[in-house]
Amino acid sequence: MLRMIRTFAVPALCALVLSPVAAKPAAPIAHAQMVRVALGSTFKQPASGRLLIFAMPLKDAQAAAQGGPVEEVDTSPFSPTQTAVAALEVPHLAPGGAVLMDADSVSFPQPFSKLTPGEYAVQAVLDVNHNYNYGGRGTGDLVSKVVTVRLGGADAATPDLTLTRELTERMQPWKLSSRVPEAARARIQPALDAAKGHTHEIDFVSPALTAFWGRPIHMRGWVLLPPGYAEHKGQRYPTVYFTHGFSANHASLTFNAASTWKLMSEGKTPPMIWVFLDESSPTGTHEFADSVNNGPWGTALTTELMPKLESTYRMDARPSGRFLTGHSSGGWATLWLQVRYPKIFGGTWSTSPDPSDFHDFTGPDLYAPHANVYRKPDGSPWPLVRDKGKVIATFQQFAQLERVLGPYGGQMASFEWVFSPKGKDGRPQPMFDRATGDVNPKVVDYWRDHYDIAYRIKTQWPKLKPYLDGKIHLFVGTADTFYLDGAAHKLKAVLDSVGAKSSFDFIPGKTHFDLYAKGGDREWLHKEIAWQMYRVARPKAKIPTAYTATTP
The pairing of beta strand 199-205 with beta strand 218-224: antiparallel
The three-state secondary structure class of 315 is strand
Buried/exposed code over 130-155 (b: 16+ C-beta within 10 A; e: otherwise): bbbbbbbbbebbbbbebbebebbeee
Give all strands of the β-sheet with 239-243 in edge-to-edge order: 199-205, 218-224, 273-277, 239-243, 322-327, 348-351, 472-477, 503-507
Longest dimension (CA), the chain: 81
Query: How many residues does the structure list for the chain?
Result: 552
**Terminus-to-terminus CA distance in the chain, angstroms?**
40
Residue spans of alpha helices (H) in 378-510: 395-405, 411-419, 441-451, 453-468, 485-497
- Which is nearest to 325 in space by CA: 43, 531, 47? 531
326 bridge partner residues: 243, 350
Please give the DSSP secondary-structure letter assigned to residue 381: B
Please give the DSSP secondary-structure letter assigned to residue 106: S
Q: How far apart are CA 552 and CA 550, in angstroms?
A: 6
The pairing of beta strand 472-477 with beta strand 503-507: parallel
Reported pTM: 0.92
CATH number among 3.40.50.460, 3.40.50.1820, 3.90.870.20, 3.30.70.141, domain 191-357+454-541: 3.40.50.1820
pLDDT in tens, the chain (552 residues): 333 322 223 333 333 333 343 444 444 445 799 999 999 999 999 999 999 999 999 999 999 999 899 999 999 988 999 999 999 999 999 999 999 999 999 999 999 999 999 999 999 999 999 999 999 999 999 999 999 999 999 999 999 999 999 998 778 899 988 778 888 888 899 999 999 999 999 999 999 999 999 999 999 999 999 999 999 999 999 999 999 999 999 999 999 999 999 999 999 999 999 999 999 999 999 999 999 999 999 999 999 999 999 999 999 999 999 999 999 999 999 999 999 999 999 999 999 999 999 999 999 999 999 999 999 999 999 999 999 889 999 999 999 999 999 988 999 999 999 999 999 999 999 999 999 999 999 999 999 999 999 999 999 999 999 999 999 999 999 999 999 999 999 999 999 999 999 999 999 999 999 999 999 999 999 999 999 999 999 999 988 877 754 433
CB 137 within 8 A of CB 130: no
Domains in the chain: boundaries: 34-167, 191-357+454-541, 365-451
Instruction: At 501, give phi and psi (nearest 5°).
Output: -85, 130
